[in-house]
Amino acid sequence: MTELWELTASMQARGVREGTFSAEELMRSVLDRIAQTDPQVNAFCTLNEHALEEARAADRALTRADVIGPLHGVPFSVKDLIPTAGLRTTLGSTAYADWIPDHDDVSVERMRAAGALLVGKTNTRELGYGVVADNELFGPTRNPRKLACTAGGSSGGSAAAVAGGMGSISLGNDGGGSLRVPAALCGVFTLKPTFGVVPLYPSCRLPTRAGLGSWETLESVGPITRTVEESALVLETIAGFDQRDRHSIPTDVRGLTARLDDGVNRLRIAWSPRLGQADVDPELIELTTRAVNALDRAGLGCEVAAADPPIGDLHELRKAFYATVARDSDLTGLRELAGRYRVSQDIQELVGKDWTAEMFTWAATRRQTLYDAVQSFMADWDLLLTPTTATAAFPIGMRSPAEYVGRDWSPFAFPFNLTGQPAASVPIGTTRDGRPVGLQIVGRRLADAMVLRSARAFERVLAAGPGDQPICEVPRGSGTGTQ
């Protein structure tokens, strides 16, 4: 028998709306799943103690014939870097261990307005600086598909929550791969929207706390889900102009879910397994190439060909990205924080460097040349495909795989934060030892709908929907996991 937590968000919303089950029953199912699974995974750092009360209120609203939103009664979680009114938001830092914001971030505000119910906050790397979910307050988040391994980061708690069946939707953010990397490592779907399509406020826009206002020109908020349809439904909910965010872009995403099945006919798709130079695990090359070939052979009417975007030297580009992160950061505030609290090694390295104005202007110029080169490339191609990461999940407690020390194990995500393009990660299978692998789909700026459409095509070709593989190493009905 299918449990309520196993249903997709659209199925959950329809079930509540049609009275097949109540919002309270759905919330209880998700909370029971969290109680069963999270002791092994550690995806959540704070649960909403009013979740059942809010679910009962959602049920009463149905009886009053109130205006019902598209996500009415659907539980969702939020990365602990994104402010939530009345619910602790630690930013993964001991400095903010007891902070309870007065206001929701825009995306959370819009999810609540659509009827979604906040179940809790998910674990992250401290202030988002790093690509694992591990911090002094809550420890590491494990990968539900491989408990001995990391869930990735910095939205690792969100990816692990969805992969472990602990809610159908989680909101995270991505300043250099923080949505796509953990989604790929955990075997779930995500979309990093075009920069500015989803407004951010106060996070990244209101520098009232050191670290909260970081990543201003790089970060996007987006959904992590098990299916493409769910992410499209969330994007319809959270996208759209908001004057509080000076980077916000007026955009119309109405009817996005209805257009998911428009297909990829006549699209020209570039396949770049190494971006011309990245050091990628041969097994990941094999798996992602097989997935791309499956799309090409599916008779969908698209053209797929090998082509590398002219991004220049990848090592140099990583330096420009790191300098951009520093320029976006409150270095003075972070140094004061590091002087008063024990901070992560990532933050220690950031504030320990002697940054200069010339480094920042060089990085800005390098970013401009990258944008121009990639846009010229994308004039000839509708989409670009790459692996999402250079390797699959690695053992818990490490910042990077042992075999990639001194090398870039996540070279595919950050360039498209610098350009602001939409990029998704689609689960396409697992390695021989069962670690999930993702394929990245990059579109032109504001072509979020096309990225989702192509992701849907991949999902169908590869049958990568919920239920096609074990959702978690924690067995059904058991409180213990296996490694």
DSSP 26-49: HHHHHHHHHHHHHHHH--EEEE-T
Contact 385, 441 (CB under 8 A): yes
Contact 176, 286 (CB under 8 A): no
Q: b/e map of 221-242 (b: 16 or more CB within 10 Å)? A: bbbbbbbbbbbbbbbbbbbbeb
Both tokens of residue 161?
């929550």
Q: b/e map of 40-62 (b: 16 or more CB within 10 Å)? A: bbbbbbbbbeebbebbeebbebb
For 208-341, where are the alpha helices, taking DSSP H only? Answer: 228-238, 282-297, 314-328, 331-340
DSSP 172-188: EEESSSTTHHHHHHHT-
10, 154, 231, 344: the active-site residue? 154
93, 158, 178, 272: the active-site residue? 178
Angstrom CA distances, 67 to 64, 71, 76, 184, 317, stand at: 9, 12, 20, 37, 49
Both tokens of residue 107?
């995306």
C-alpha span between 439 and 203 (Å, rounded): 28
- Please indicate whether residue 376 is annotated as part of the active site: no
79, 121, 146, 192: the active-site residue? 79
- Please indicate whether residue 231 is annotated as part of the active site: no
- Please indicate whether residue 178 is annotated as part of the active site: yes
Look-up of token digits 């990365």: 79
DSSP type of residue 87: B
Contact 33, 41 (CB under 8 A): no
Q: Which residues, in sequence order, are bridge partners of residue 437?
A: 429
- How many Cβ atoms sit within 10 Å of the Cβ of residue 288? 23
Nearest to 11 by CA among 212, 229, 208: 229
Nearest to 308 by CA among 246, 203, 380: 380
- Map residue 263 onto helix, strand or coil: coil
Both tokens of residue 61?
């609203």
- Map residue 255 onto helix, strand or coil: coil
Catalytic residues: 79, 154, 178
